[in-house]
Amino acid sequence: MDKNKSIVVMGAGLAGLSCAYELAKAGKKVTVIEKWEDVGGLARTIKVNGFSFDTGPHRWYTKNDMVNNWMLQLMKSEITKVPRLTRIYFDNKFFHYPIQIKSTIKGMGLVKTFWAVVDYLMVRSLSFFHKAEPVTIEEGYISQFGRTLYEMFFKRYTEKLWGRSCREISADWLGQRSRGFNISTVIKNALFSKEKVVSFVDEFSYPQKGIGRLAQKLAQGVKEAKGTLYLNSEIIKINHRAGKISSVTVKSGKKLWEIKGEEFVSTIAVSDLINGLMPPVPGAVAKFNNRLKYRDEVQVVLFINKTRVTPDTWVYVHALDIPFVRFMEMDNWSNKLTPKGKTAIVFEIVCNYGDKVWNMPDKRLADLVSEKFISSFKLIKKENIIGWHIHRVPKEYPVYHIGYRKDLEVIKSYLGRFSNLQIAGRNGIFRYNNMDHSIEMGLYAAWNILEGSRNFNIESVNIDREYLEEKKVVLRAPELPEDQYVQEYKN
């Protein structure tokens, strides 16, 4: 590859930054363009009035040793282990999550437990005779848990999260969210503590100063290796000619400018990429693109003059009369995030960009959340709240509508014509990625550029097969020669 080839990375989330980091370290000329004022995308840590808080609960847990070692080499002693306690708040009671047999039976009572068992056995016996892949998320949950447990623990929350019926969401989401999680793993987990399902881990890694440190360290590495990072710079056009992307048009404040490149990695939402292509995409592709939807979120952070208001790392809130779906208490993640004797709780209200909740004035949102939290949970009083902060996060979740895979196929096959473009990341390829997946995708994109090939298959990351087969991954031992290391990860 031409040593001076310039590479443009679109988006400074974990996918874009891990890609840029590898390229810059290898001496390549790399430019990262980010529309927000800070790096990290969906995994940021914000600091206000001495309180640091994350944009939603982000635990680091991966089954991929290579990505884990890569992260540990980057973060070194900043990483700590956090014990996890997660509960569901449902019918004014707390249930452990993942479901624990004893507490569930206690909370449900014997009659409901009996019906849950009958339901589950019925589903299992029927599936023995009639094996059908679940299409909707409702079918997926019922096949794993039976109807009683589905209605108790999953239906309400899932519909609150997505703002639509569980019959309108593809079962793929369930596959990616809780792989291998069903009644038999719940039982195995209760009996044998070494159960490996990701949803069950009761300890996880976390940077002591907040999840945003991952992106900050990567950005620092990019800059130290003479890469360029533009913040507050939105890509509004992606210009192409003769089967290649030639440049991106960027808007910073009132200024419009163009950045040329020879290789492009896009981690911005695939639908925005398609909309920005110039000349525009054919009408048929635009039609499929318009079907891609996202769920957005308003986050309300309360600053509290008490410490450890809850014992939980995070709590899922199923009750429909409470606006937030989840809250996390920062003090239970690290004691380096909030001032001594104080804590911060982040509440997530899922909504659609531009709707009533999204547009609600900040003060009203803060009042709404404070009142509901005080009256429902009775853990603090009004005078304990010493401040608040609101931030809005667009495109938090790609929505897997029924048939989304076909729509995506059309879009991705259209993008396949650009020989110098790779797409990666959560919204970048429209897949429900965790951080490790986005990082892995970013690394693959970088290695493909370094090799002048497309041997690392970004599309293969975060598909069920990897987890179900308990894929063996080779450790990236520091002394391992680069070639051998790269070799292990080829298709």
Ligand X SMILES: Cc1cc2nc3c(=O)[nH]c(=O)nc-3n(C[C@H](O)[C@H](O)[C@H](O)COP(=O)(O)OP(=O)(O)OC[C@H]3O[C@@H](n4cnc5c(N)ncnc54)[C@H](O)[C@@H]3O)c2cc1C
Interface residues toward ligand X, by CB under 6 A: 10-16, 33-36, 41-43, 56-59, 234-235, 267-268, 272, 396, 425-428, 433-436, 438
Rank residues 11 and 175 by Cβ distance to ligand X and give the closer one: 11
Provide, rounded to whole angstroms, the least separation between the CB of residue 237 and ligand X.
10
Give every CB contact of residue 321 below 8 A, 6+ residues apart in sequence: none
∠ CA(287), CA(292), CA(298), 5° rounding? 140
User: To 5 degrees, how large is the angle CA 433–CA 434–CA 436?
Assistant: 110
Between residues 120 and 430, which has the closer beta carbon with respect to ligand X? 430
CB of 211 to ligand X, least distance (A): 8
Q: In this complex, which beta carbon is closest to ligand X, that of residue 10 or of residue 186?
A: 10
Q: How far is the CB of 1 from ligand X (least distance, A)?
A: 24
* Least Cβ distance, residue 427 to ligand X (angstroms): 5
* Pair type for strands 255-260 and 314-317: unpaired
- Encoding tokens for residue 236? 């509004």
Of residues 14 and 446, the one with the C-beta less far from ligand X: 14
**What number of residues does the chain have?**
491
Phi, psi (5° rounding) for residue 124? -65, -40
Our CB check for ligand X shows the closer of 12 and 142 to be 12
Q: Hey, what are 312's tokens?
A: 């939980």
Q: How far is the CB of 150 from ligand X (least distance, A)?
A: 23
The SS3 call for residue 471 is coil
Query: Which residue, 171 or 435, is less far from ligand X as judged by CB?
Result: 435
d(CA 292, CA 304): 39
What DSSP designation does 322 have?
S
Specify the residue, 116 or 169, whose C-beta has the smaller distance to ligand X.
169
Strands 86-90, 79-83: pairing kind: unpaired
Least Cβ distance, residue 128 to ligand X (angstroms): 35
In the 3-class helix/strand/coil scheme, how is 169-210 assigned residue by residue? EECHHHHHHCCCCCHHHHHHHHHCCCCCCHHHCCEEEEECCC
Directed axis angle between helix 435-451 and helix 14-25, to 10°?
30
Backbone angles phi, psi at 271, to 5 degrees: -70, -35
- C-alpha closest to that of 54 among 326, 318, 267, 244: 326
Identify which of residues 13 and 107 has a Cβ nearer to ligand X in the complex: 13
Smallest distance, ligand X to C-beta of residue 255, A? 14
Least distance to ligand X, CB of residue 403, Å: 23
- SS3 call for 255: strand
